[in-house]
Amino acid sequence: MHRIVSIAAFIIVLLSWTSVPAENSKTSTVTFCGGPKGLSYEKLPNALKPIIADFNLGFTLETVETKGGEENVKMVAKGECDFGLAPNKLVNKRKLPIDGVVFHSYAHLVCNQQRTKNAKEISDLLKQGRKIQIAVGDIGSASKIIWDSLADLDDKFGPKNFSTMPLGFTKAIPLVMNGQYDCAWTVSGVGSPALKAADYPDSSKVLRLIDVNDSDFNDEDYEFFVIPKTTYPNLQAGWFMDVKTIDIPVVLFHRKGLQTQNPVAYGAISGEALRVGPDLFKE
């Protein structure tokens, strides 16, 4: 429904724009909080720039480099960006207006099988008789924020049973492989470069992608998703290795007041983002 409304709004304002001089645009620059340079969140605003320029609506779109979803939400809430991308959980917490889902990201939990006694699902980590050492992502990253939110939903996954390290997945995997950490956690699209890099032939001897299937995680912001067993042949080696995990929608959102203050920019960017975004992030 969000997508239909946004596209319809864009069509209406685009038709009305034909009789309005470009100099009457409310602002000459519209800002879009993306993410770290070269990573997923930056793709969308960069893809939109030439599309918006071709419309010749009297404004330009500028990508703002950020640390990711948490900073995007903070900057849009303060009016420092007009649009942003972030997991829906973060946006709902700030009560910012959501335009629609752009793509889906999924929790991936990779563990050292020797250290975790062949754990197959996240609840098995509670049976180790010790705290689990887990890298949950850099401070401010969507991965760390989502892990922290799951610990809020079920305190068994909090500091009583887990020692968390703020380290990104790519740096953490070698440490999990050699037994310094038990597990590495990330939130990303299926088949992301980081997961593909971890899914190399020898990894099946040590590493396994395990289920993130605790029923307490199924709140209004998360749903469950099954990663087919053929997705990561080495991390999912063995019989019946479909992996159940949580689906974290990443949404397009905007600052309060934008829709009425600058309807042309709002309609154009929101409509095009929801049109091209799903294909841009297609797995």
Name 135's bridge partners: 165, 184
pLDDT at 283: 58
Q: Which of 33, 83, 128 is nearest to 267 (CA)?
A: 83
Residue 238 CB-density burial (10 A; 0-12 exposed, 13-18 middle, 19+ buried): exposed
pLDDT at 68: 86
Residue 91: which residues within 8 A CB-CB, separation 6 or more? 73, 98, 251, 253
* 228 and 115 share one domain: yes
* 148 and 18 share one domain: no
Q: Which residues span the domain enclosing 45?
A: 2-97+255-280
Whole-angstrom Cα distance, residue 177 to residue 117?
A: 14
Whole-angstrom Cα distance, residue 252 to residue 267?
A: 13
Q: What's the structural domain count of the chain?
A: 2
Q: Which of 169, 227, 226, 165 is nearest to 195 (CA)?
A: 169
* 15 and 71 share one domain: yes
* 186 and 212 share one domain: yes
The residue type at 276: V
What pLDDT, in 10s, does the model give residues 90-108? 999 899 999 999 999 999 9
pLDDT at 218: 64
- Dihedral (Cα; 146, 151, 154, 157), 10-degree rounding: 120
Q: Which of 251, 255, 253 is nearest to 78 (CA)?
A: 255
* 18 and 83 share one domain: yes
pLDDT at 5: 45
pLDDT at 36: 83
The residue type at 149: S
pLDDT at 251: 96
H or E element at residue 111: strand 98-112
Q: Which two tokens stand for residue 171?
A: 């740096």
Whole-angstrom Cα distance, residue 51 to residue 48?
A: 5
* 26 and 137 share one domain: no
What pLDDT, in 10s, does the model give residues 144-154? 989 998 888 88
Q: Which residues of the chain have pLDDT under 70?
A: 1-27, 218-219, 239-240, 283
* 114 and 239 share one domain: yes
Whole-angstrom Cα distance, residue 172 to residue 109?
A: 12
Residue 215 CB-density burial (10 A; 0-12 exposed, 13-18 middle, 19+ buried): exposed
pLDDT at 239: 67
* 83 and 183 share one domain: no
H or E element at residue 47: helix 40-55
* 21 and 36 share one domain: yes
* 122 and 230 share one domain: yes
Q: What is the CATH number of the domain that holds 80?
A: 3.40.190
Compute how many other C-beta atoms are within 10 angstroms of the C-beta atom of residue 199. 20
Count of alpha carbons within 13 angstroms of residue 83, beta-carbon side: 32
* 126 and 225 share one domain: yes
Whole-angstrom Cα distance, residue 81 to residue 84?
A: 7
Q: What is the CATH number of the domain that holds 230?
A: 3.40.190.10
* 137 and 23 share one domain: no
